[in-house]
Amino acid sequence: MKEILMGKIADKIIDVNLKMTSGEKLLIVTEAEKVPIANAIAASAYRKNIEPIISIMIPREMDSQEPPEIIAAALKVADAFVSVVGKSITHTNAIKNAIENGARGLVLTQFSEDMMIHGGMEADFEKIKPVCLKVAAALANSKKIHLTTPFGTNLTFCAENRRGNALYCLVEKGKFSTAPTVEANVSPIEGTPEGIIVVDASVPYIGIGLLKEPIVCKVEKGFITSIEGGKQAKLLSEDLASKKDPNVYNVAELGIGLNPNCRFIGLMLEDEGVYGSCHIGIGTSVNLGGVLKAACHYDLIMTKPTIIADGITIMRDGELVGEFYSEVYKK
């Protein structure tokens, strides 16, 4: 029964998210634990005369670690790829090179079998797409972006000459998207972020997940300089310190969650997409329009953000306003 239910989302991945056609080749990069999900996607592809190739690798030791060279080479020649892994390979040169070579990809990091049945993947991505594009355009090339939340976040940065990224789970040639998160994001100019980040929702990495108490990060000249809070804050701080890479503290991204079907469950790509949330990505920024490569990329997720870009309010207390609002979010 579960296989049948998973097959519905698998068909959606092939037909809607990747828009694959007969005769194309699909590379599915996965780990042993995620093979049931990979098999569901492969079975759907096979039924549609699309050749699926499943590559099972040993789980990476940490997020953003490169996949094996043989998989990196295969990614470059695939028509499309799906990454179904526990440790993220999104912010790697392998993915970057595959996209530059014309592949189109869908990233399903930390995906569970339950997420293949209900949740964010049930969203109407076609209807959300224009909203996502509009928000990304508003973030792009902004001289000043100001983020605040009722919980104490107060962060400003410059994104002048930086592109806005729209990830709406629908991919064309030379593009990739995470799923089921729908988000618009931008990478700050290095050195410009200043202020305080108060993370109240989730840090879906290294076993932290849903937060029991806030994590408070001080930001100076583009980098996190202190992390305070309880046990979960200590876990984050110790993990970042263990990387022995100063770039892991770089404020790399502001992302805005836009998927009305996502919910907080402690898993990365579901949590990041929750409508009314936003996240500050730290570490690697090269895949987002920045210039820094770090030992990791983590997202710090918060709720009820107010986001103003060059004087234009995009979101207020977790709700899109004005021209950015859409009926798709009507409760």
What was the pLDDT predicted at 64?
81
- Which residues are CB-neighbours of 188 under 8 A, at least 6 positions away? 145, 157, 158, 159, 162, 222, 251, 252, 253, 254, 290
The mean of the pLDDT values for the chain is: 95
What was the pLDDT predicted at 245?
97
Q: Are strands 194-199 and 251-257 parallel, antiparallel or unpaired?
A: unpaired
pTM: 0.88
The position carrying tokens 């999900």 is 37
Q: pLDDT > 90: what percent of the chain?
A: 89
Is residue 71 within 8 Å of residue 55, measured between CB atoms? yes
Is residue 86 within 8 Å of residue 59, measured between CB atoms? yes
Q: pLDDT > 70: what percent of the chain?
A: 100
Average pLDDT score over residue span 1-16: 89
Average pLDDT score over residue span 10-33: 97
Q: What digits encode the pLDDT tens for the residues 48-75?
A: 999 999 999 999 988 888 999 999 999 9
Whether 286 shows a pLDDT value over 80: the answer reads yes
Question: Where does the pLDDT of residue 165 fall: very low under 50, low under 70, confident under 90, or very high at 90 and above?
Answer: very high
Amino acid identity, position 270: E
Whether 316 shows a pLDDT value over 90: the answer reads yes
Whether 331 shows a pLDDT value over 80: the answer reads no
Which residue from 121, 107, 105 is spatially nearest to 5, judged by alpha carbons?
Answer: 121
Whether 190 shows a pLDDT value over 90: the answer reads yes
What was the pLDDT predicted at 63?
80
Q: What digits encode the pLDDT tens for the residues 82-134?
A: 999 998 898 788 998 999 999 999 999 889 999 999 899 999 999 999 999 99
